[in-house]
């Protein structure tokens, strides 16, 4: 499975400077999505494909736990570090998630980025390997599927795939995870998974 890592890095580096100016998700919608994640307060959190840290601060504030934000794109990470350099519980790393080796996490969150993980079987295996027993993987979008398709139909089309329903996508993780909940609407899309024992 071709992951197109270099192309994804280049695209997101190019978009980094204007990322926040192009609008951030509604706070109430983010709270709605984060409220779906169980046990956030139980241990460290990995915010994968964190970009400029759109939800990193919210994850730290809501959980009271350390949060590591990770992204392929160095320019995205530079902006995220500038935004949160005063928060000791938040750190950032420029890293390919597929290649990451780290301590066990209670929760892994992927917000507004899942369609860019072109190798889903490898994503599932890697996420499971980084989670503690009973840990949670949360795939969240603060956009509906129709809006996502529109966004990804242009310059992002070579580096993304079309989403199925939340339950259909969650089924792709069934070897390593069980489904806790899944739903979608005009302005959101999510599925929450628990690592199998």
CATH, residue 190:
3.40.50.150
Cβ atoms of 77 and 69 within 8 Å: the answer is yes
Query: Is residue 169 situated within a structural domain?
Result: yes
Indicate whether 117 belongs to any domain: yes
Is 24 within a domain?
no
What does pTM read for this prediction? 0.92
For residue 38, tell me if it sits in a domain: no
Which residue segment(s) compose the domain that 107 sits in?
A: 5-12+43-195
CA 123 to CA 119: how far, in whole Å? 6
* Alpha carbon separation from 116 to 17, 44, 53 (Å, rounded): 19, 24, 17
β-partners of residue 195 are 177
pLDDT, tens digit (0-9, with 9 covering 90-100), for 24-83: 778 999 999 999 999 999 999 999 999 999 999 999 999 999 999 999 999 999 999 999
pLDDT given at position 180: 98
* Domains identified in the chain, total number: 1
């Amino acid at each position: 499975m071709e992951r197109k890592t270099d192309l994804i890095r280049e695209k997101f580096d190019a978009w980094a400077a204007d990322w926040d100016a192009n609008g951030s998700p509604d706070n109430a919608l983010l709270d709605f999505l984060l409220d779906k994640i169980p046990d956030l307060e139980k241990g460290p959190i990995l915010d994968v494909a964190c970009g400029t840290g759109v939800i990193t601060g919210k994850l730290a504030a809501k959980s009271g736990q350390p949060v590591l934000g990770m992204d392929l794109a160095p320019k995205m990470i530079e902006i995220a570090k500038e935004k949160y350099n005063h928060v000791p519980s938040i750190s950032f790393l420029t890293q390919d998630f597929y290649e990451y080796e780290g301590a066990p996490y209670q929760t892994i969150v992927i917000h507004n980025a899942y369609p860019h993980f072109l190798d889903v079987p490898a994503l599932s295996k890697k996420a499971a390997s980084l989670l503690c027993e009973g840990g949670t993987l949360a795939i969240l979008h603060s956009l509906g599927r129709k809006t996502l398709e529109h966004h990804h139909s242009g310059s992002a089309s070579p580096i993304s795939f079309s989403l199925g329903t939340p339950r259909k996508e969650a089924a792709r993780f069934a070897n390593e995870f069980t489904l806790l909940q899944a739903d979608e609407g005009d302005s959101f899309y999510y599925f929450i998974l628990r690592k199998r024992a």
